[in-house]
Amino acid sequence: AYFSKTGHSEKIARAMGDALNIEPVDIAQNPSLSQVDLLFIVSGIYYGQSDNKVVEFGRKLKPAMVQRVALVTSCSSGKYASDNLSQALKKNYIEILGECMVMGSFFIRAAGRPNQKDYDKAIEFAKNMIKKA
């Protein structure tokens, strides 16, 4: 599942989906989840935190819907993690298996990102999380 304001997270999710042979879905479509062993949530960091729409999506998840989550975030500074999303998931007793951060661009900051190197990093992370799960 992904949330993307700029299109970066969607590109990352699609690259992961192509590599894993799964179809990513935009959280705006309110995906129906039931008995999911591992859910990847791909989203950006905006002004130091996950967007409220992503956090609200996380608040709605329950252990009967999703056992584990792996987070993939894009951020132009490379310094922020999705702490507010992580807190929402933990309050609902959803296990966070891991988090991967890739570079995203914002105006001229980190221009050209995400790039193939970033997609490859997210794909490798996803494969490792599947093995770990």
Instruction: Report the predicted TM-score, pTM, of the whole model to 2 decimal places.
Output: 0.89
What is the chain's length? 133
Q: For the residues of 82-112, what is the DSSP string, one character each?
A: -HHHHHHHHHTT-EEEEEEEEE--BTTBTTT
Instruction: Give the pLDDT confidence of 12-42 residue by residue, as tens digits.
Output: 999 999 999 999 999 999 998 999 999 999 9
* Identity of the residue numbered 51: D
> What percent of the chain shows pLDDT beyond 70?
87
